[in-house]
Amino acid sequence: MSNVRKIIHIDADCFYAAVEMRDNPSLKEKPIAIGGPEGTRSVLATANYPAREYGVRSAMPTSVAKRLCPSLCVITGNMDKYRQASQQMHDIFKRFTQEIEPLSLDEAYLDVTHSIACNGSATQIAEMIRKMIADEVGITVSAGVATNKFIAKVASDWQKPNGLTVVTPAEQSRFVQSIPVKAISGIGKVAQEKLAELGVFTCEDLQDIEFSLLLKRFGSMAFRLSQYALGIDERPVVLSRERKSISLERTFAKDLSGVEPCNAILPALLVDLKKRMSGRNFDSQISKYYLKLKFDDFQQTTVERPLKGKLSDQVFYALLEEAYERGRRPVRLIGVGYRLKPPQALQLELPF
């Protein structure tokens, strides 16, 4: 079957925490998490497996995590160190294929269909990558090997941590039937509840549902659900992920009452935004300013304005005034950023 693709999904195990444990082995047996300090509204970026045994999870408020696990060690984190580890991982990927789609610092799809490494064995390539990352980066990753991105991503999570799951074409149908619908990307809690009302908990259950009923219940999501239920995913591995914006946001320990306290915070946010922009050649790609506010009732609003002429910090103050008027409530979060134009296609010289 020469037309069968060979896709590998690599996902580091509790990446940020793993890097911290690598650099400080005394942390390995302790419950640790990466996030902001207790007493603030910060949330956790990740937690190691000892912490997860207490129910601690990523995106959980630090205060909640500390209640679940009083001995939890919360580390602020070091993005420069994590980016370096990520680059090491990608350098290893490139030894086997140039067809790499990064999803985040610690996660990527690899298309090894045409790779001649390891005699073309996707399974052996995945094993080699996992070994090299363990030896050279000092952390573990889990991998899924399959004929498409959907199945490979599910498979990489099948035997975490430090696992490898291979789904061959012959095994694919049976494997897909066992996939819980909650493992399908985009199926959140509400969609899971709707599916549960139909008696659908696995892809095998989903295969028995008429498409017309899915369409009625899920609209545009119905086609993707019906395809994934059968293990069909034609999406290619995209070699570069186009950045659509650059931004940052801050959640405050105490709500900001009124527009003036918000104005007082804005200069520091804009300094941090400029640091994030520095040296990355985004200025020529900026198409719009945007600003986001989240109020104390968790309602949020976003205001945008096209770039005209030179960049000006004053635009953000005008956006802040406009956004605040929409809610006129205490503010718990401010986000600032720029929308980016897609980069112009490059003319490439191809060898013949």
What pLDDT was estimated at residue 18? 97
| b/e burial code for range 285-304 (CB count within 10 A of at least 16 → b) | bbeebbbbbbbeeeebeebe
| Residue positions forming the annotated binding site for Mg(2+) | 11, 106
Q: What is the residue-wise DSSP string for 298-345? A: S-EEEEEEE--SS--THHHHHHHHHHHHHH-S-EEEEEEEEEEPPPPP
**What CATH number is given for 245-340 in this structure?**
3.30.1490.100
pLDDT band at 185 (very low <50, low <70, confident <90, very high): confident
Helices marked H in 137-283: 149-156, 172-177, 189-197, 203-207, 211-218, 221-229, 259-277
What is the per-residue pLDDT across 125-177, written as a single tens digit (0 to 9) for each?
Answer: 999 999 999 999 999 999 999 999 999 999 999 999 999 999 999 999 999 99
What pLDDT was estimated at residue 19? 97
In CATH, the architecture of 16-79 is 3-Layer(aba) Sandwich (3.40)
Contact 100, 240 (CB under 8 A): no
**What CATH number is given for 174-229 in this structure?**
1.10.150.20
Phi, psi (degrees; rounded to nearest 5) at 136: -100, -30
Answering whether pTM is above 0.75, one says no
pLDDT band at 244 (very low <50, low <70, confident <90, very high): confident
Distance CA 155, CA 232 (A): 15
Distance CA 157, CA 166 (A): 11
Distance CA 274, CA 179 (A): 44
| Residue positions forming the annotated binding site | 11, 106
Distance CA 55, CA 47 (A): 10
- In the chain, the N- to C-terminal Cα span, in Å, equals 28
What is the per-residue pLDDT across 269-294, written as a single tens digit (0 to 9) for each?
Answer: 998 888 888 766 777 789 999 999 99
Pairing of β 44-47 and β 100-104: unpaired
What is the per-residue pLDDT across 193-227, written as a single tens digit (0 to 9) for each?
Answer: 999 999 999 999 999 999 999 999 888 889 989 99
Helix (H, G, I), strand (E, B) or coil at 5: coil
Identical fold between 174-229 and 245-340: no
Phi, psi (degrees; rounded to nearest 5) at 138: 85, 20
What is the per-residue pLDDT across 5-21, written as a single tens digit (0 to 9) for each?
Answer: 999 999 999 999 999 99
List 20, 101, 107, 210, catalytic entry: 107
Q: What's the half-sphere exposure (Cβ side, CA atoms, 13 Å) at 202?
A: 9
Give the domain ranges of the chain: 16-79, 174-229, 245-340
- Residue 107 appears among annotated catalytic residues: yes
